[in-house]
Amino acid sequence: MLILLLYSIRVFSIAATICMFLVLPVNYYGQEMTHKMIPSESFDIFCIENVKKNSKWLCVHCIALYIICCSACVLLYFEYSSISRLRLIHITGSQKNPSHFTVLVQSIPWSPEETYSETIRKFFSNYHASSYLSHQMIYRSGTVQKLLSDAEKMYNTMKENSVEMRCQKLKGGCFCAGSTNSFTILPSVNDSVKKELYGNMELVAGEKECSAAFVFFKTRYAALMASSVLQSANPMSWATSLAPEPCDVYWSNLSIPYRQLWIRKIGTLIAATGFMIMFLLPVTVVQSMTQLEKLQQTFPFLRGLLKKKYMSELVTGYLPSVVLILFMYLAPPTMMTLSSLEGPISRSGRKRSACLKVVYFTIWNVFFVNVFAGSAIGTLSAFSSVKDIPAQFGKAVPAQAGFFVTYVLSSGWASLSCEVMQLFSLTWNFFRRWIFRIKIEPFYEPLAFPYHTEVPRILLFGFLGFTCSILAPLITPFVLFYFFLAYLVYKNQILNVYISKYESGGQFWPIAHNTTIFAMVVAQIIALGVFGVKESPVASGFTIPLIVGTLLFHGYCRQRFRPIFRDPAAEVLIEMDRKDEECGRMEEMYQQLRTAYCQFTLLAKRNTSTSGCSSGHDSESNVTELESARPGNPQQVIELWNAPSCHLSEPVLITK
């Protein structure tokens, strides 16, 4: 996240310098006219629309485009190379990561003569005899999870009703938050209650095996090979993939039948596309508000009000951006829900999928639909002829440049202030305390960084900056200032507010790289269309090689860096295995593998005194220790997740 912001700051520092000192004067003096004072000038005077047709000064825009795109590509290459090295360091530095030895096996064939556990033991003992270590079955979590939720509610009820000691309430308090209990010592839970809960859950879990399991191997290389090769002549059976980290496992999706996954992906794709099409209506309404003449024709009773200058500027300038921002808040939770239905096996995979969907959604609706929004039918017909796309862009984008500048100002800076204040949590806390009069102190889970909302927003502003840089150069200083401010805000949030439960390992960077390349190509196509409309064949001719060169650069980066983000390198894993064997750490790793993936928290706690299954890697586990973890330190959180869970019979100190 911070690397993406630093990259954006570097790129748009160059872009802002070139655009403000090279492109802006050309736009301003593009027509022979008497200029007013600069604060009194219209916004169009500073745009490329003010340049005359067939002007030789359009070559300045082409040169500026070359400088911006070449600088972006060079910096993008170095960032991709740097993040690739950091990813390798992350892999080699996590020596005790159990996911390196673990493979997730799905679609295990059913046999009426034996259980899934026996089937998987026979299969891997037969075909992977030299490297197979053990396995951990996965259970259907519906009934079991309900028992766990009921048990947690019972535990919380007993905790609240029989507290042995409370610290004195704080006298002072914020208006929205009120007073809080700083520390609470929890009492022990009756052993008979524990025995009853554990016994019932173990009984249900034993009857609900599903056709999936975690299989552990003796070496990292063996696990990599087992996850890469086809295990059966039937590709729909014995499907293997590298397991996510224990704290990253999305347990509720592991019991989904493997044969349903492709249907779920198609269904979510159709649903996401339908949601994007439905969103054409509010975006079209928003764009109609930016056109004063159409607004007066549609609502004649507003003509007198809209004649006032400040009112017309408010309605056609600021108000459309605010309305669009409010509608856009529906996108992240909707896409997160659809990504969950796809069946990802990890929480990071779910967030990456949601992030990608939100990127597509925001760029399509904020840029493309707004550019071509006369009506939903007009929007679709604008792309009916491929050869006319550059010309359509050349006519439509400069006309909407003012709207995009306003959107950056209203959406970008307002979103950062909301991020600092945590506006949603603050508002909900106010309603809970002062409207609904709920005095019971709720349990607050540690906040995880919302990649699926913040990364698409940053990429969107970068996209607008690239596409509008030479068309409306005034946008570049505002975008640059946003990135400076965003870096300060998000660095504070990551260090002091959010707690990372897992490491993404740089998996979000390919999304940022692809979006940046797409933004540059779209900016070049728009420039090609504008140069064609302005009848400048020289500038148009020099733009085509730039498009080809950008696409070739993207193809090279995909071949050079993208495989590093798919699978670990075999030589790296083999070297790690050799070092562990020489140092005698393998036996210790084997012991940890037996306790790494525990699906049910309470069962894990019960087995702590017997078999040692103590990790509790579900999202609700080890909440006590996670609360005391320091934000911004994912390694500390991972250690807490891997630490043995506290017994319920021991007092636990809760810090609120």
Q: What is the pLDDT of residue 612?
A: 38
Distances in whole angstroms, Cα of residue 393 to Cα of each of 266, 277, 396, 526, 530? 31, 20, 5, 5, 7
**How much is the pLDDT for 11?**
95
Q: How does residue 92 score in pLDDT terms, banded at 50, 70 and 90?
A: confident
Angle formed by the axes of helices 331-342 and 261-278, nearest 10°: 160
Instruction: Report CA torsion sign: 566, 572, 576, 578.
Output: positive
Q: Is the pLDDT of residue 536 over 50?
A: yes
- In the chain, count H helices and then E strands: 31, 7
Whether 406 has a pLDDT exceeding 70, the answer reads: yes
pLDDT of residue 614: 41
Task: Give the model confidence (pLDDT) of 135-193 as tens digits.
Answer: 999 887 655 555 665 666 666 656 555 444 444 444 444 444 444 444 444 444 444 44
Alpha carbons 155 and 151: distance in angstroms, whole number: 6
- Give the Å distances, CA to CA, from 378 to 193, 279, 284: 66, 15, 10
Place of tokens 């809960």: 197
Under a CB-based contact definition with an 8 Å cutoff, are residues 4 and 455 in contact?
A: yes
What integer is the mean pLDDT of 307-316? 62
The first and second tokens of residue 311, run together, are: 């009112």
Indicate the range of 20-29, 247-256, 294-303, 361-370 predicted with least confidence. Answer: 294-303
| Residue range 619-632: mean pLDDT, rounded | 41
Joined tokens for residue 507? 């998996």
pLDDT at 379 over 60: no
Higher pLDDT, 222 or 434: 222
Q: Is the pLDDT of residue 126 over 80?
A: yes
For the chain, the domains span 1-34+41-96+345-568, 99-154+202-244+593-601
Q: Read off the pLDDT of each residue in 200-220 and give the average, rounded to a whole number.
A: 73
Residue 605 in this model has a pLDDT that exceeds 70? no
Q: What is the pTM of this model?
A: 0.78
DSSP conformation letters of 573-626: HHHHHHHHHHHT-HHHHHHHHHTT--S-HHHHHHGGGTT------STTTTHHHH
pLDDT in tens, 4-20: 999 999 999 999 999 99
Give me the chain's average pLDDT, please: 77
328-357 pLDDT per residue, tens? 888 889 999 999 999 899 998 999 999 999
According to the model, what pLDDT value does residue 557 have?
94
Identify the weakest region by mean pLDDT among 86-90, 194-198, 292-296: 194-198
Q: Which two tokens stand for residue 17?
A: 């310098």
Structure tokens at 586: 């393998």
CA distances from 83 to 2, 195, 449, 506, 564 (A): 12, 49, 19, 7, 10
Q: Return the pLDDT at 147.
A: 64
Q: Which fold has domain 99-154+202-244+593-601?
A: Alpha-Beta Plaits (3.30.70)
Q: What percentage of the chain has pLDDT greater than the value 70?
A: 70
Q: Average pLDDT for residues 79-107, to the nearest whole number? A: 90
pLDDT of residue 611: 39
Q: In Å, how far are 395, 396, 507, 525 from 529, measured between CA atoms?
A: 8, 10, 35, 6
Name which residue leads in pLDDT, 448 or 571. 571
Count CB neighbours of 66 within 10 A: 17
Q: What is the mean pLDDT of residues 20-47?
A: 74
| Residue 619, pLDDT above cutoff 90 | no
Is a pLDDT exceeding 60 seen at residue 641? no
Taking residues 292-296, what's their average pLDDT?
60
pLDDT at 653: 30
Query: Are residues 524 and 541 in contact, defined by beta-carbon separation less than 8 angstroms?
Result: no
